[in-house]
A = this chain, B = another copy of it.
Amino acid sequence: MTRLEFWCELASPYTYLAAMRIDDLASAAGVEVAWRPFSLGPIFAAVGWSTSPFNVYPDKGRYLWRDLAREAEALGLPLQRPSQFPRNTVAAARVALLGVERGWGPRFIRAALAANFAEDRELAAPEVIDELLAAIGLDGPAVRAEAEGPEHRPRLRAATEQASAHGIFGAPTFLVEQEMFWGNDRLERAIAWARATR
């Protein structure tokens, strides 16, 4: 089975759109998805941005929310503009990375993205993360303690460094071997590429 890496950032609105539909599209095409949570913060900081480019460039930001609303509607996905943007997703991303190892990563990532972009919940808050974990049958405080422990905590930085080494500059990004596709708009093409290189 061809493997498609799905580089996802929990603060990224277009990652939300991609995460909600990637599994159906990929399984219909016989493509395996490797979920790769990472952080855009250090990557943005390296080009001089202290926040999302959608905040750095206000015209682009205004357009983003309108475009996102149209795209979410076309895909039949609920959307609520977050009252905080971008949210600090570092703690949730560490949990997501642990989840990917344990098999519940995609479920948690989808729930976290929906909390951020469909329910306007404060994903930076430990109690929100705990609720999302409880909903998939896990003990939030224990999972968070493990994700923040000495073994797992460094993995988010390592993932982000790997993303940077691949030349990833935004999210979502899809990788099929060294072929890169950026943005929810390229999900179908990335899956077709993965299927064709099988």
Question: B-contacting residues of A (Cβ < 8 Å)?
Answer: 47, 57, 59-60, 62-63, 66-67, 70, 74, 167-170, 179-182, 185-186, 189
Question: What residue in chain B is nearest A184 (Cβ atoms)?
Answer: B185
**Number of this chain's copies in the complex:** 2
Interface pair A180/B57, CB less than 8 Å apart: no
| Contact of A62 (CB < 8 Å), options: B62, B167, B185 | B167
Find out whether the CB atom of A63 lies under 8 angstroms from the CB atom of B185: no
Bound CA span A170–B64, Å: 13
Chain B residue nearest to A168 in the complex (CB): B59
Q: How far is A197 from B152 in the complex, measured between Cα atoms in Å?
A: 53
What's the Cα separation between A83 and B74 when bound, in Å? 39
**Could you list 20 examples of A-B contacts with CB < 8 Å?**
A47-B57, A57-B169, A59-B167, A59-B168, A59-B169, A60-B169, A60-B170, A62-B167, A63-B167, A63-B169, A63-B180, A63-B182, A66-B179, A66-B180, A67-B181, A67-B182, A67-B186, A70-B189, A74-B189, A185-B185
Residues from chain B with Cβ under 8 Å of A67 in the complex: 181-182, 186
